[in-house]
Amino acid sequence: MTLWRWAGGHASGLRVRLLLAFALLGVTTTAVVASGSYFQARTVILQQAQDAAVASLTDQLTKVYPIRQLPPTQNELDDLAHRLSDREGYAVVIYHDMRAQGAQVPEPLTPELRQAVESGLIAWQRVSRDGEPVLLIGTQLKLDRPDGAVLPSGLEVYAVRSLASEQQSIDRLATLAWLTGGLSLVLAVLLALLAARGVLRPVRELGRAARRLGEGDLTTRLVVRGADELADVARTFNDTAGTVERQVGELRRMEADARRFVADVSHELRTPLAAMTAVTDVLDEEADRLPGDAGKAARLVSQETQSLTQLVNDLIEVSRFDSGTARLALDDVDVAAAVTATLRIRGWTDRVRAELPPGVVARLDPRRLDVIVANLVGNAFRHGTEPVSVRLHAEPDWITIEVRDQGPGLDPEVLPHVFDRFYKADTARTRSEGSGLGLAIAWENARLHRHAGQAGSLVASNAPTGGAVFTLRLPRVAADTANTGGVR
Amino acid sequence: MTGRPVARALLAGGLLLTLLLAGCGVRPSGVITGRPAMAGPSVGVRLYLLSHGELALVIHPSKEPASPEETLAMLAAGPDESDLSQGLTSEVPTGLVPAGPVTAVPGRPGLTVTMTGPVLSLSGAAADQIVCTAASAAALAGLADSFPPITLAGPDGARPPRFCPVVR
């Protein structure tokens, strides 16, 4: 039973199943046909041999007539038996209690045959004598009566004939039948393999194409061969792949349109903003001298214009990342000095606890490093609690800058989205002091630095002691790579 | 899924096994019967003797066809050596030969055999021997189409007409 279950488990493969079905079909058909023709041929061979033997005996017996003496002498019986014996067999002649036998072998006659002969008919029977098939034919010798009827004379003649040659012919037939069966089995297996290949190849191709499609190659198509069910499947696959490709293309086009729109708008806003900035600069200078609300309004306008300028600049930066036109301006930089400069320019030197081992030189884009560090530290000031620490760590191929604050840390729900654009961690606070793009830009900048196929990274996490930790990891020798626009 | 292959395998195996067992070679058979046994003529004189009290046909060689009277004379002569060696006997008394030709007598069916000796005292078997031999010889001589009824007559009278019992 377990063997069958094992076979069943392995028989679930298409190839094995086809093989099994074909082999069984072939063997069954051959067995039926071969055995049928074998039996028929055997019957024909035996029947012919028997009929020929009976005819030959009858022919020989006509020469016995006319009968000259009854009861015959033993000599006469012996002579008759001798005359009827030849290479193919011998005869037994019986008259009541007398008997003559043409060969010195044991009596082969069966009681049922003698009974059939006594009833007045020619009778024959196949028997096995020492494993050799033997045909026994028996008949009475009757006498004509003047009126046409016949009289029993009491003489019985039996011919004993070997069927060895027929046995040989039949054995040859059997061998031939077995051979045919074996050949047909081989043929069936070959055909099954061929059929399995014919079926399995398109299936395998289909599987491969589906895998490629799943991996993102939307141009994958199958060659449709023939008009069977598998071709239908291939056609459906092609249709589906075509639809998916069209829809994804549409989506991409729409996304690109949206991005281009943002980029265009940002660019268009730059010129008026420059003019506005010039105006607000003047207003700023005059604000103190303006009375009451007018001064407050002037300062507000100036402040919001600055924010707007920042936002537009950030949008332009982001659209550069999206369009893949962002390039690294690589330089050999003393990282500690660069970070210190960033902090100093923004006036944060006193508020940040910096651990910057000197002498760490890396080849990277100093402007982008400045943007990242400023974003991270500024973010820590805005959302965390001081003291904020910046720690530089150098490895043979990579540098790590860790920015940590002592605030409550990031909400676990926020963590996965902290680098999303315009993501508001605090939903209650609708107006952020930043543009909402700072961390997204920092993340893109980090990824822009690549080394040996590995991109730089920016990871947000919570320190076990509390407080948010942003870890920037950049290669020591960054390579500029085309099209590093982050796709999120 | 496993059910069908199992059934099919069993079927195929069974067929092969049948072929293997039922089959190879020449198998013994029962008795097959054909036409009636063959028959042919005889040369000589057909007499009816007794084998263990039953009528038995014997053929005694003769150069020429014998007339019914000669045939009956040969019957009266008794069994020869070959007959005796087979245990054949005769109850017909030696010398009981026909007194005249075997002929049809008006008023009696068939043929009448008139003997030289008494016929009423003959045993039934002896009478049957004479009746059968005479009928057979008469038929062979062309006196009758088939075995006719025979009336045995003698100086002491006549037995009723009788058919040969082994032929009817």
What does pLDDT average to over chain A?
83
Closest residue to A71, CB basis, from B24, B39, B58: B58
Residues 6+ positions from A212 with CB-CB distance below 8 Å = A220
Reported as a single tens digit per residue, the pLDDT across B108-127 is 888 888 888 888 888 888 88
In a domain, B10, yes or no: no
The confidence score (pLDDT) of residue B167 equals 63
The ipTM value here is 0.78
**Domain span at residue B116?**
45-158
Q: Are B110 and B134 in contact (CB under 8 A)?
A: no
Mutation target for A interface from B4, B33, B136, B146: give the one with most A CBs within 10 A. B33
Given an 8 Å threshold on Cβ–Cβ distance, is B146 in contact with A147? yes
In a domain, B35, yes or no: no
Radius of gyration of the CA atoms of chain A, in A:
55
In a domain, B106, yes or no: yes
The confidence score (pLDDT) of residue A480 equals 66
DSSP readout, A33-67? HHHHHHHHHHHHHHHHHHHHHHHHHHHHHHTTPSB
Least confident of A145-149, B32-36, B79-83: A145-149
Top-confidence residue, A26 or A488: A26
Given an 8 Å threshold on Cβ–Cβ distance, is B27 in contact with A167? no
The confidence score (pLDDT) of residue A239 equals 92
B19 class by beta-carbon count within 10 Å (0-12 exposed, 13-18 middle, 19+ buried) = buried
Least confident of A40-44, A373-377, A414-418, A479-483: A479-483
The confidence score (pLDDT) of residue A484 equals 42
**Residue A363's pLDDT band (boundaries 50, 70, 90)?**
confident
Mark residue A272 as left, alpha or beta (left: phi above 0; alpha: psi -120 to 50; beta: remaining).
alpha
Q: Does the pLDDT of residue B13 top 80, yes or no?
A: no
Chain A CB contacts of B5 under 8 Å are: 7, 11, 20-21, 24
Reported as a single tens digit per residue, the pLDDT across A178-227 is 888 888 888 888 988 888 887 788 888 888 899 998 888 888 888 888 88
**H or E element in which residue B25 lies:** none
Looking at the structure of chain B, the number of domains it has is: 1
In a domain, B29, yes or no: no
Compute the distance between CA of residue A216 and CA of residue A244 in angstroms, rounded to an integer. 10
The confidence score (pLDDT) of residue A478 equals 77
Given an 8 Å threshold on Cβ–Cβ distance, is B23 in contact with A69? no
The confidence score (pLDDT) of residue A123 equals 92
Q: Is the minimum CB–CB distance between B3 and chain A shorter than 8 Å?
A: no
Instruction: Sketch out chain A's domains with CATH numbers.
Output: 11-171 (3.30.450.20), 229-322 (1.10.287.130), 328-475 (3.30.565.10)
Q: Does the pLDDT of residue A468 top 50, yes or no?
A: yes
The confidence score (pLDDT) of residue A425 equals 62
**Residue A430's pLDDT band (boundaries 50, 70, 90)?**
very low
Compute the distance between CA of residue A348 and CA of residue A389 in angstroms, rounded to an integer. 11
In a domain, B58, yes or no: yes
Top-confidence residue, B144 or A349: A349
Q: Is the minimum CB–CB distance between A20 and chain B shorter than 8 Å?
A: yes
Least confident of A53-67, A275-289, A429-443, B54-68: A429-443
In a domain, B28, yes or no: no
Q: Which amino acid is at B14?
A: G
The residue of chain B nearest to residue A138, with distances taken between CA atoms, is B37
Q: Are A136 and A53 in contact (CB under 8 A)?
A: no
| Strand A388-394 relative to strand A352-355, pairing | parallel
Reported as a single tens digit per residue, the pLDDT across A263-299 is 888 888 888 888 888 888 888 887 778 777 888 888 8
* pTM check: above 0.80: no
Residues 6+ positions from B36 with CB-CB distance below 8 Å = A120, A121, A122, A150
The confidence score (pLDDT) of residue A70 equals 80
In a domain, B143, yes or no: yes
B154 CA to chain A: closest CA distance, Å?
28
**Residue A3's pLDDT band (boundaries 50, 70, 90)?**
low
Q: Does the pLDDT of residue A479 top 70, yes or no?
A: yes
Top-confidence residue, A6 or A81: A81
**Residue A136's pLDDT band (boundaries 50, 70, 90)?**
very high
In a domain, B16, yes or no: no
The confidence score (pLDDT) of residue A243 equals 93
Mark residue A130 as left, alpha or beta (left: phi above 0; alpha: psi -120 to 50; beta: remaining).
left
Chain B CB contacts of A68 under 8 Å are: 42-44, 59, 61
Which is nearest to B20 in space by CA: A162, A47, A181?
A181
A228 CA to chain B: closest CA distance, Å?
24
Compute the distance between CA of residue A424 and CA of residue A411 in angstroms, rounded to an integer. 12
The confidence score (pLDDT) of residue A44 equals 92
Q: Which amino acid is at A42?
A: R
B11 CA to chain A: closest CA distance, Å?
8
Reported as a single tens digit per residue, the pLDDT across A142-167 is 888 777 778 888 889 999 988 888 88
Given an 8 Å threshold on Cβ–Cβ distance, is B37 in contact with A34? no
**H or E element in which residue A32 lies:** helix A14-62
Top-confidence residue, A90 or A324: A90
